[in-house]
Amino acid sequence: MTLSSNVSIRLAVSEDAQFLPQIEQSAGELFRSLPELAWIADEPIGTAEEFLPLILAGTVWVAEARASGIVGELRGTIADDCLHIVELAVARTFQQRGIGRMLIDAAAEWAGRRGLRALTLTTFRHVAWNAPFYARYGFVELPADSDGRLKAILIRETAHGLPNRCAMRFDLK
């Protein structure tokens, strides 16, 4: 499917927080298609209030469809000289339309204007809509011990039961 011209990307405002848990829940439903990761679809999602600190920090972007409201979100946090993508989620019925790419584009442009050097994230290495998606965008998988901050995140994720994770980086030009 092609991207609808009826979708716009903008920085989130406090009032958007109420919609973000349902976006993540909807996006997470896709994990039901992977038996070994189906449990992720049932994991608790944060409350709207838990999204507010990053919204107030100005590091959350939303995709808004003219007729449907908020349909996607990218949450980030500034770490060292990078914008670390904490979550990228697009509602199930809006996936495969380029919205995730638009959200990354907006975050990358914002980060570049602020002098940050890269986007980073951790993700599933073997899930098609995770590491392979980011690799097509231009992210590069990092060696496990190349970045202490990302290594610590991967250790926490493994302890939480998330298998086959990797850290990735996209250098801003």
137-171 pLDDT per residue, tens = 999 999 978 889 999 999 999 998 898 999 999 99
Query: Is 1 part of any domain?
Result: no
Buried b (16+ CB within 10 A) or exposed e, 123-135: bbeebebbbebbe
Here the CATH number for the domain that contains residue 141 is 3.40.630.30
Taking the CA atoms of residue 123, residue 125, residue 126 and residue 131 in that order, the dihedral angle to the nearest 10 degrees is 70
Q: pTM for the whole thing? A: 0.92
- Containing domain of residue 115, as a range? 7-171
Give how many domains the chain has, as a whole number.
Answer: 1
Per-residue pLDDT, 4 = 53
Which one-letter amino acid corresponds to residue 79? A
Query: Is 94 part of any domain?
Result: yes
Angle at 70 (CA atoms; ends 62, 114), nearest 5 degrees: 10
Please, what is the angle between helix 20-28 and helix 48-57, to 10°? 110
Which one-letter amino acid corresponds to residue 141? E
Query: Is 112 part of any domain?
Result: yes
Using DSSP, state whether 74 is helix, strand or coil: strand
